[in-house]
Amino acid sequence: MGEAVGRTIEQVRALVGWVGAGRKLTQTGRVTLADARALVEILDTGDRMDPVIGDRTFKTKSSEELYHLTLLVEWAKTARLLRTAGGRLLPVKKNAKLLDRPDELRRALFAALPHIGPAVTVSGWLESLFAHEYDRGLRALLQRLYAATTPVPLSDLQEVVWQAVSPLYVLDDLSPDRLRHLRTANDHDIQRVLKALASLGTIRVAGESAELTADGRTETARMRGEPEPGDAVLQILVELADVDSPRVWRRLLVPAAISLDRLHSVIQDAMGWQSCHMHAFTIDGVQYGRPGGELGFRDERTATLAALLEPGTHFVYTYDFGDSWEHLITVERFETASAGLHYPHCMDGAGACPPEDCGGAPGYSDLKVILADATHEEHHAMLAWLGLRSATEFAPGRFTPDEANARLLHLTAP
């Protein structure tokens, strides 16, 4: 891909400097063609003015046709370095200090990346699914890179994005050719995103693989909501109520500022649930959950753990209102985040997660009795229901923190 590391940062600096006190825009809010011709040279965008194809010259009629220049302008606007007002492109004076602080400028541009999909992805005669589901696909791509300890093949990244965006559409009736064209359009847009990330200095592309740089890993962790070293984290104990032989519990470190909706996802992954059912938190007699339903929950998205609880306090997380799996949660203590440790983090635990839809704690107790008795009339039916060939494959005591942490590492950004 060939972009110099951090090239976008230098281009954005030069762009804002060129804007100066302000530049006139076209009636459609675009950089004028005359200014675009100058900027292509000043910023070295690589755009081709009046491209020649064969023996024909195609006159550039609008700066909108210049992909890299348009991307830089939209990126700078979304990062609140530039703004438009009164038909002019203007600097945002309060953010001018970022131009002299490369790390903060990179942070602002990276944070803006999920919001500039139309400028990054380019629609040809066939729009990609990635272009329609840009934020979802981008986060899946970054998550795959973040979870990897070695360079990731580009083919893997293409597949990860496709698997993230394609289930949202009905594609079964498409012809093989149409489906292939969709995949190709998707892959082209992924290449554009990777180039944008590389030009920001947040990924390194070599041959047919890519990996996050140290800066990219830091920014992705920040996007995931992970605490920075020294930030407050909470140690919590999550224990499944009314389940024993063995007990099922997890000890977790989570950001103190974690919202309850995010904590729901953490508990699901740490325990091993599949997030197939409704849930709620009960704290001091108040129930928090997804808003807008008939149950009248308070909005879990606006409630944070540290704001509601102190060390030594307890609350309840209920999953699946039919089976009613109650998790007793104890806030054990405050700590500070350590460098090199991913958060949320599972420190310890025991007991496998019960199967979904097995009837809650009473049903799970019965299930363990049935599977332990090969002569029980329901033994083979329960094996078939669980998809097991033998009761020896059923191990209610099996759990390792590494398994939970692998799932937590793949937890998507909020």
Is there a contact between 185 and 196 (Cβ–Cβ < 8 Å)? no
DSSP 392: G
Q: Evaluate if residue 4 carries a pLDDT over 60.
A: no
- Predicted confidence at residue 5, as pLDDT, reads 45
The answer on pLDDT for 3 being more than 60 is no
pLDDT at 56: 86
Same fold flag, 1-100 and 232-354+401-409? no
Task: Identify whether the C-beta of residue 412 lies closer than 8 Å to the C-beta of residue 141.
Answer: no
> Is-contact 90 16, C-beta < 8 A?
no
pLDDT of res. 413: 67
Identify the helix (H) or strand (E) that includes residue 282: strand 279-283
303-341: per-residue pLDDT in tens?
999 888 888 899 999 999 999 999 999 999 999 999 888
pLDDT in tens, 63-88: 999 999 999 999 999 999 999 999 99
Residue 2's pLDDT band (boundaries 50, 70, 90)?
Answer: very low
Contact between 308 and 202 under an 8 Å Cβ cutoff? The reply is: no
- Is residue 225 within 8 A of residue 275, CB to CB? The reply is no
Q: Is residue 135 scored above 60 in pLDDT?
A: yes
Predicted confidence (pLDDT) at residue 134 exceeds the cutoff of 60 = yes
Q: What pLDDT does 54 receive?
A: 83
Residue 125 has pLDDT above 80, yes or no: no
Q: What is the fold of 232-354+401-409?
A: 3.10.290
User: In the chain, what are the domain boundaries?
Assistant: 1-100, 121-223, 232-354+401-409, 355-395
Which of helix, strand or coil describes residue 150? coil
Indicate whether 99 pLDDT > 90.
yes
DSSP classification of residue 205: E
Cα gap 376→266, rounded to integer Å: 37
Closest CA to 134 of 112, 165, 106: 165
What are 177-228's pLDDT values in tens digits?
999 999 999 999 999 999 999 999 999 999 999 999 999 999 999 888 899 8
pLDDT at 123 over 80: no
Report the CATH number of the 121-223 domain: 1.10.10
C-alpha dihedral (331, 336, 339, 340), degrees to nearest 10: -10
Please give the class, per CATH, of domain 1-100: mainly alpha
> 358 with 249: CB under 8 angstroms?
no
Q: Is the pLDDT of residue 262 over 80?
A: yes
Percent of all residues in the chain with a pLDDT value above 90, rounded to a whole number: 85
Banded pLDDT at 1 (limits 50, 70, 90): very low
Whether the bond between 151 and the residue before it is cis, its omega within 30 degrees of 0, is no
